[in-house]
Amino acid sequence: MKYNVLTLYPEIIEFYKSVGIIGRAVESEIIDINAVNIRDYSKDKHRRVDDEIYGGGAGMLMKADVVYDCVSDIKSKSNAPVIYFSPTGKRFDSEMAKEYAKLDEVILLCGHYEGIDQRAIDLVVDEEISIGDYVLTGGHIAAMVFIDTVSRYIGDVLGNNESLSDESFENNLLEYPQYTRPEEFMGLKVPEVLLSGHHKKIEEYKLEKAIEITKKNRPDLIE
């Protein structure tokens, strides 16, 4: 999978692609992350990319021509879908991430300031995605969430597929609580059943705990 990330902060994406599990996946060429600076497409002598909003309203908007030229340049080298990150988009979830993980390439367009002139969105964007019901300072944060989540569903990125089947949101359940050594910490013991070696009982315990935490924190998932 190749992620093209079109943003005003390519340096954040450059750092993100160099560390941790994502860094390792880039290193071993399982994924590729191409950070593109939208500002490089400004024709303005001050490299401006934003302007005031027609009809009033606070803040600035990214200009249609700059965004259009940037996306068009990347699209001239690939026919990957263009995803725009915005709080007005469709809500991102693990099922959506699994579908995107099947693609070879995507173009991730990050809004900054108050967003992007609607005409550029109408002309170049295929899908608008929101990562949750809150407003971020910039789409680059949503793009990193997208890359992170999608990459976990690409074979070999995690190395250990076991960790995908039990995790939160599989079967509409949150993940059960987990423990590591020592067996006792600050007077708190690891639940006896987990030390028992009794496979069936352990599975029953994990399911019971998963249902319990889902009912408590996300009853909407059980409904």
Q: Which residues form the interface with ligand ADE (CB under 6 A)? A: 85-87, 111, 130-132, 134-136, 139, 142
Q: For 55, which DSSP code?
A: T
Task: Please enumerate in sequence order all residues whose Cβ is within 8 A of that of 29, keeping only pairs 6 or more positions apart, or say none.
Answer: none
* Residues contacting residue 103 through CB under 8 Å, at least 6 positions apart: 1, 80, 81
The least CB distance from residue 154 to ligand ADE, in Å, is: 21
Q: How far apart are CA 17 and CA 23, in angstroms?
A: 5
Using the Cα atoms of residue 161, residue 20, residue 94 and residue 83 in order, give the sign of their dihedral: negative
Residue 141 vs 211, nearer CB to ligand ADE: 141
Shortest reach from residue 213's CB to ligand ADE, in Å: 25
CB of 147 to ligand ADE, least distance (A): 13
Smallest separation, CB 110 to ligand ADE (Å): 8
**Closest C-alpha to 59, from 9, 23, 113:** 113
Q: Which residue, 109 or 174, has its beta carbon nearer to ligand ADE?
A: 109
Q: Which is nearer to ligand ADE, 61 or 142 (CB)?
A: 142
- Work out how close the CB of 115 gets to ligand ADE at its nearest, in angstroms, rounded to a whole number: 8
Nearer to ligand ADE, 10 or 111 (CB): 111
**CB atoms near residue 124 (< 10 Å):** 20
Residue with structure tokens 């550029």? 120
> Of 45, 22, 25, nearest to 143 (Cα)?
22
Closest distance of CB 100 from ligand ADE, Å: 14
Nearer to ligand ADE, 120 or 210 (CB): 120
Exposed, middle or buried by CB within 10 Å (0-12, 13-18, 19+), for 214?
Answer: buried
The Cα–Cα gap between 105 and 103 comes to 6
Q: Which is nearer to ligand ADE, 74 or 144 (CB)?
A: 144
